[in-house]
């Protein structure tokens, strides 16, 4: 049985009046879960004055009910034992109008053993509103505060989940193995709601994106194409139009008394305070408790009921939508003890799952602090499997834009990767050229095709999990603007009245077609390459404008040469003998030319050369 979300109607006067409807979160659970003690949030006017009883159900007990300082909430604590069967729980209230049913479902077979994304995968990051408009009937929804405005770079353009479903054959052919969509949950904000990071309902997809059922359909159809689904989750903050802002479950649900105070309570963004052994408690709180902006209030994950709510919400979406991973926005901004609880609960439920946290720092000492297995000086224990490699992203941009020198050029990449000793699991680091929050790669290189191809070859052949931003394969560009609305540009072919179509190739330039072929070749090679999936990385100090490395597995060696010189380079291979099998025959990935390796190779100017050596 479905329940409507709480309805909050704001009157024209300064003091809001409320109209309530019974709201239950989550709407269901599953039997056979490791997480078998759950808390059901019930919201309705003066609901705390009512008594709830659970009809007798074998294997399920209502342990107790928590009432808070807000009489409009009750939290029902259930224990679902291992011998409980699927069925429907019936909760009776002293107000019969508030009695409700709560389904217990059977889990999909082997759900707990699901495989998360790995270093064999390539994730394709999509801003759904800017990708494909698959259903124009939901561009504007009357119940949502913001209507479609495709002519405004910061407005909603109409892309949706159906559009992503329609694009699945294209993505499969491109070589994508995982999809990461920026948040598709309800963002009922008055403006700039398209990005998805100001969530106003943690359990429902935004109707302008589709529905929960359609999101599940995307997951099913993507898996039919061999593609997994990664959900972008926000734990640190939420949208200011969420009902919680007008009717907080507890007084301490939101940090800093639930007030932004004209920026006084803004976050310091000083992420280093979390690891700093000398940092004051004041500075730590300014970072973790401060708000991003007034429209994104900061959640207090130290509140036990909120802690439980966020853990259950993540597990519910994994189970409901059959997810293969989670990307966590602004990871380190949340309370770090909560983050330990949250990641552990998910990994206990799904031991082979994967979660990547966004820690936007070029300092690997800070980023590595969060990865599972790291022994930290302060004793902090994390269960987060993966982090994002902002250090390498920055190093590659600088390396290709700088002249070669003792401390410039390729050495920046070499030094970044040399810091891998800080990470407990270097294969489980996500590498990327750009994303939805930074200028596009082609823009950073001043529309230089050669540099863009070299960079993407590096990111798709080095160690770690590869991530590509939508449109990189066709050189999408935000020059000269750095506005997020321009970075998150409409995908050609996804909307009406566009001159180019990436899905058919019509209207694409020669350079765009060249880039698409390069990316497709690399991504499809990754799908079947044991060396790129799990092979050891061995790299060599840059020399004469060439950076070279090998990915080595038992059955395959991949050699990569990055030549920044503007002339052909006759490159001696004697220094690489430790990674080149004897009497090796190599195949050039991009030309398919096969030849016997000698002690030198000709490297074309401003080109990445990839050689594949298969060993029996």
- Residues annotated as catalytic (active site), given as ranges: 329, 358
∠ CA 76-82-86 to the nearest 5 degrees?
A: 70
Return the SS3 of 318.
Answer: helix
For residues 248 and 300, is the Cβ–Cβ distance under 8 A?
A: no
**Would you state the structure tokens that stand for residue 394, as one six-digit string?**
């920055």
Return the SS3 of 272.
Answer: helix
| Enclosing H/E stretch for 601 | strand 600-603
**Residue owning tokens 């770690």:** 464
Q: How far apart are the first and last CA of the chain?
A: 58
Plot region of 493 (φ>0 → left; ψ -120 to 50 → alpha; else → beta): left
Strands, E assignment, 306-399: 325-329, 355-357, 386-388
∠ CA 39-35-46 to the nearest 5 degrees?
A: 5
Cβ within 8 Å of residue 155, ≥6 positions away: 146, 148, 149, 191, 194, 485
Rounded Cα gap, residues 158 and 128, in angstroms = 9
Rounded Cα gap, residues 321 and 221, in angstroms = 11
435: closest CA among 471, 399, 383?
A: 471
Plot region of 317 (φ>0 → left; ψ -120 to 50 → alpha; else → beta): alpha
What is the Cα 321 distance to its own chain's centre? 15
Rounded Cα gap, residues 468 and 209, in angstroms = 22
Rounded Cα gap, residues 432 and 428, in angstroms = 13
**Would you state the structure tokens that stand for residue 454, as one six-digit string?**
């070299």
What is the Cα 215 distance to its own chain's centre? 16
**Parallel, antiparallel, or unpaired: how do β-strands 23-25 and 37-43 relate?**
antiparallel
**Parallel, antiparallel, or unpaired: how do β-strands 556-563 and 546-552 relate?**
antiparallel
Angle between helices 449-459 and 510-528 (to 10 degrees): 10
For residues 265 and 258, is the Cβ–Cβ distance under 8 A?
A: no
**Would you state the structure tokens that stand for residue 43, as one six-digit string?**
């919201």
Rounded Cα gap, residues 400 and 547, in angstroms = 11
DSSP state of 407: S
Rounded Cα gap, residues 241 and 245, in angstroms = 7
Following DSSP, what letter does each residue of 130-197 receive, concatenated? GT----GGGSS-TTSSS-B-TTSTTSB----HHHHHHTHHHHHHHT--EEEEPP-EE---SSS-TT--
């Amino acid at each position: 049985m479905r329940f409507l979300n709480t309805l909050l109607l704001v009157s024209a006067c300064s003091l809001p009046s409320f109209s309530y409807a019974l709201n239950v979160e989550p709407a269901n659970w599953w039997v056979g879960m490791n997480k078998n003690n759950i808390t059901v949030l019930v919201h309705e006017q003066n609901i705390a004055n009512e008594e709830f009883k659970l009809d007798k159900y074998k294997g399920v007990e209502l342990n107790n009910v928590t009432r808070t300082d807000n009489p409009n909430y009750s939290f029902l604590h259930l224990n679902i034992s291992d011998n409980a069967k699927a069925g429907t729980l019936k909760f009776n209230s002293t107000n019969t109008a508030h009695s409700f049913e709560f389904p217990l479902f059977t889990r999909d077979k082997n759900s707990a053993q699901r495989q998360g994304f790995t270093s064999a995968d390539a994730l394709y990051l999509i801003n759904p509103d800017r990708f494909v408009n698959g259903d124009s009937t939901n561009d504007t929804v009357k119940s949502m505060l913001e209507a479609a405005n495709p002519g405004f770079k910061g407005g909603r353009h109409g892309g949706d989940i159906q559009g992503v479903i329609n694009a699945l054959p294209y993505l499969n052919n491109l070589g994508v193995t995982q999809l990461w969509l920026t948040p598709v949950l309800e963002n009922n904000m008055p403006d700039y709601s398209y990005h998805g990071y100001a969530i106003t309902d943690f359990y429902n997809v935004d109707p302008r994106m589709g529905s929960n059922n359609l999101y599940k359909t995307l997951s099913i159809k993507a898996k039919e194409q061999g593609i997994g689904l990664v959900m972008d989750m926000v734990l640190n903050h939420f949208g200011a139009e969420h009902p919680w802002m007008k009717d907080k479950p507890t007084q301490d649900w939101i940090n800093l008394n639930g007030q932004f105070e004209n920026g006084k309570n803004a976050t310091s963004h000083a992420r280093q305070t979390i690891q700093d052994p000398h940092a004051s408690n004041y500075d730590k709180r300014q970072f973790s408790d401060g708000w991003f902006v007034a429209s994104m209030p900061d959640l207090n994950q130290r509140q036990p009921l909120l802690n439980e709510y966020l853990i259950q919400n993540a597990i519910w979406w994994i189970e409901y939508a059959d997810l293969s991973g989670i990307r966590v926005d602004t990871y380190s901004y949340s309370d770090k003890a909560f983050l330990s609880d949250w990641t552990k609960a998910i990994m206990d439920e799904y031991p082979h799952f994967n979660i990547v946290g966004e820690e936007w720092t070029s300092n690997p000492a800070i980023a590595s602090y969060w990865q599972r297995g790291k022994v930290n000086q302060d004793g902090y224990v994390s269960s987060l499997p993966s982090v994002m490699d902002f250090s390498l992203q920055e190093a590659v941009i600088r390396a290709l834009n700088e002249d070669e020198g003792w401390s410039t050029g390729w050495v920046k990449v070499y030094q970044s990767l040399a810091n891998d000793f800080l990470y407990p699991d270097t294969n489980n680091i996500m590498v990327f050229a750009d994303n939805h929050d930074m200028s596009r790669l082609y823009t950073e290189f001043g529309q230089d095709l050669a540099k863009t191809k070299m960079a993407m070859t590096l990111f798709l052949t080095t160690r770690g999990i590869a991530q590509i931003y939508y449109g990189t394969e066709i050189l999408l560009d935000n020059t000269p603007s750095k506005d997020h609305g321009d970075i998150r540009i409409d995908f050609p072919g996804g909307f009406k009245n566009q001159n180019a179509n990436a899905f058919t190739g019509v209207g694409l330039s020669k350079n765009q077609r060249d880039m698409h072929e390069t990316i497709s070749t690399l991504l499809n090679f990754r799908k079947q390459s044991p060396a790129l999936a799990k092979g050891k990385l061995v790299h060599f100090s840059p020399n004469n404008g060439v950076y070279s490395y090998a990915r080595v597995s038992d059955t395959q060696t991949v050699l990569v040469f990055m030549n920044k010189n503007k002339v052909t380079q006759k490159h001696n291979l004697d220094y690489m003998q430790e990674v080149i099998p004897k009497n090796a025959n190599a195949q050039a990935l991009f030309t398919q030319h096969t030849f016997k390796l000698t002690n030198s190779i000709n490297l074309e100017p401003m080109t990445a050369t990839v050689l594949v050596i298969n060993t029996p």
